[in-house]
Amino acid sequence: MLIVHLSDPHLRPKGHLYQGLVDSNAMFAAALDHLARLDPRPDLVLLTGDVVDEGMAEEYAVAVEMLAGIGLPLLVIPGNHDEREAFRACFAGHSHLPKTGPLHFAVGDHGPVRVVGLDVTVPGEHYGEVYDEASSWLDSALAAEPDRPTLVMMHQPPILGGIPYIDDYNCRGGERLAAVLARHPQVERVLCGHIHRFMQARFGGTLLVTAPSTTTAIALRLRPDAEPASFVEPPAMLLHRWTPAGLVTHYLPIGRFPGPYPFF
């Protein structure tokens, strides 16, 4: 089973640039073009939040138009730049999303790997949080299929990556979440976005990875007094490949590159 993991496109109304500088819509179009050229064809696409930049209806209209042609099952979870009810309305045709409340879900009908989405967004805030209700919901969802390989997708990662100005907006309640995950060894990965970079860490007895953004990359500045900054680095996606031997995660730059050459 092949699972594409996209994150943080920060789509804007047509004719508008992300942060007034970057054409995030064109960059997401390039990501979808790259997705369309993958061989073999993936089985599932995951999008881990910040689908749009300001939660505007005009931005979600762009998202609907751009995602309409992917021709693959798509599971989405909101990020801190999404507006929960506008997000719900945008993806109203996606049966995996609940009609009210936090946008948690559990889906297992796209292949051998089950996907559980945990909505950790806090409306009006940029940080996330795992409340008691969310951890209880996750515990029950994971207990329902204890022998099935599972991915847990969320937006803000519940760890500190060392970049001070984005760590301020991580997912709080990480200890609570880690305790839940440790009870469910079938969880192969925790999949996040938010950081606009690839990170990997042990967490809750499993592996946690963050997908890069399809637009700008947050600067990797590790000094505690570092000034916030971003770069227009090559965008990328993750590709998760499941076989009975386990899950392998590939980092996949987006674009067209010289090659292939007859050597390796």
112 C-beta neighbours (distance < 10 Å), count? 12
pLDDT (0 to 100) of residue 51: 98
**Domain membership flag for residue 111:** yes
pLDDT (0 to 100) of residue 215: 97
**Domain membership flag for residue 83:** yes
**Domain membership flag for residue 261:** no
Q: Residue 199's domain spans which residues? A: 2-253
**Domain membership flag for residue 34:** yes
**Domain membership flag for residue 260:** no
Cα distance between residue 159 and residue 148, in whole Å? 25
Residue-wise pLDDT for 40-66, tens only, equals 999 999 999 999 999 999 999 999 999
pLDDT (0 to 100) of residue 57: 96
Task: Give the contacts of 71 (CB within 8 A, at least 6 positions apart).
Answer: none
pLDDT (0 to 100) of residue 200: 98
- What's this model's pTM, rounded to 2 decimal places? 0.96
Cα distance between residue 155 and residue 70, in whole Å? 22
**Domain membership flag for residue 258:** no
Q: What is the CATH number of the domain that holds 140?
A: 3.60.21.10
What is the count of structural domains for the chain? 1
Contact (Cβ atoms closer than 8 angstroms) between residue 191 and residue 154: yes
Residue-wise pLDDT for 228-249, tens only, equals 999 999 999 999 999 999 999 9
Q: Is 113 helix (H, G, I), strand (E, B) or coil?
A: coil
Q: Which one-letter DSSP state was computed for residue 227?
A: P
Residue whose C-alpha is closest to residue 154's, from 225, 220, 60, 82 = 82
**Domain membership flag for residue 259:** no
**Domain membership flag for residue 264:** no
pLDDT in tens, the chain (264 residues): 999 999 999 999 999 999 999 999 999 999 999 999 999 999 999 999 999 999 999 999 999 999 999 999 999 999 999 999 999 999 999 999 999 999 999 999 999 999 999 999 999 999 999 999 999 999 999 999 999 999 999 999 999 999 999 999 999 999 999 999 999 999 999 999 999 999 999 999 999 999 999 999 999 999 999 999 999 999 999 999 999 999 999 999 999 999 999 998
Are β-strands 2-6 and 236-243 bridged in parallel, bridged antiparallel, or unpaired? antiparallel
pLDDT (0 to 100) of residue 264: 86
Structure tokens at 206: 């499993």
Name the amino acid, one letter, at 220: L
